[in-house]
Amino acid sequence: MFSILTLLHSAIRWLVLASLLCAIIIAARGYFTQKPFVLKDNLVRHWTATIAHIQLLLGILMVTQSPTVRIFWDSTTEAEKDGDILFFGLLHPLLMLIAIVVLTVGSALAKRRNGDHQKFRTMLIYFSVALLLILIAIPWPFSPLASRPYFR
Condensed to tens digits (0 to 9), the pLDDT of residues 14-47 reads 999 999 999 999 999 999 999 999 999 999 999 9
* Domain-wise residue ranges, the chain: 2-137
DSSP count for the chain of H helices, then E strands: 7, 0
Closest CA to 110 of 128, 96, 98: 128
Query: Rounded to two decimals, what is the model's pTM?
Result: 0.88
Give tens-digit pLDDT for 94-133: 999 999 999 999 999 999 999 999 999 999 999 999 999 9
